[in-house]
Amino acid sequence: MSTIDIITEKLNKKILVTEDDIKVHTPMSANKSLSSLVNHIVVSQDLHIKKILGITLFNQLMAEWIANNMVQSALPDGTNTGTPPQVLNDTTNYKELHEQIFSPLVWWSYVLSLSSIAFQIGEAGILSRSTDNAESGGIEGLKKLVADGEAIARAYTKELVDYIELTFKDDNSVQSESKEVGAPSMGVFVPKKPWHGNKSNY
C-alpha cells in the first residue's frame, strides 16, 4: 500500500471531530501534517467516548453523524422541527450530545498524539524528533505537556459524565458498570429505550 493509499484510508475513517478541531482548540501546531491525528481521534473515541456513552448510544450518534454529513448543526435535536432521526420516535438531542463529547474527545486526542509527535519509531529504535525552530523539551517536557493535557481532558470528561447521568437517568434506567474517568469511579446511566438498548459490557 502506497503512502497516498494509507493517507486516503485514514481520511476515510469516521471521526466525530476533525484534525483542525484539535489544532484550533489545543496547543497543537496548525501545520501538523494531514492525517497524522486521525488514528489518535479514533482510539480516543473508542477508549473514552464510547466507554461513557455505551456502545448502543455511541453507535446511534455515529449513525446520525454520518447520515448528516458530519455536520454538527444538522444533527437531530429531539424536536419535531429539526432533522428527523434515523430511528422513528427517537427524541435524543444528538446535536447537544455531540456538543458534550466534543471537548473531551478533542483533548484526549491531543494528549494521545503527544508522544508520537515528540518521538518516532525507526530502524534504530525510538528516536526523538528534531526541530529547526526550537530545542526539544525532552522527556520531562513531554511529561508536563501530557499531564497538563490530561488534566483538561479529565475535567471535560467529568462534565460529559455528569451530562449523561442527568440527561439519561430516569425511572427505567439501569446503572452501567463503574467507569474510571480520571477522578473517582462513577456509574453512567443509560435509559432503557429501544434505540439505546440495555446495559453495555466493557
178: amino acid identity, one letter: S
pLDDT tens for each residue of 40-62:
999 999 999 999 999 999 999 99
DSSP H or E run through 156: helix 138-168
Cα separation values, 178 from 163, 171, 184, 195, Å: 16, 19, 9, 22
Give the whole-angstrom CA distance, residue 91 versus residue 200.
20
| pTM, entire model | 0.75
The residue among 41 and 120 whose pLDDT is bigger is 41
- The answer on pLDDT for 165 being more than 90 is yes
Between CA 190 and CA 174 the distance in angstroms is 6
On the question of pLDDT at 164 being above 60, the answer is yes
pLDDT at 128: 52
Mean pLDDT of the chain: 78
Residue 77 has pLDDT above 60, yes or no: yes
Contact 170, 91 (CB under 8 A): no
Number of neighbouring beta carbons within 10 Å of residue 40: 22
Q: Given a cut of 80, is residue 90 above it in pLDDT?
A: yes
pLDDT beyond 80 at 94:
yes
More confident residue, 10 or 54: 54
Give the residue among 108, 94, 99 at the shortest CA–CA distance from 155.
108
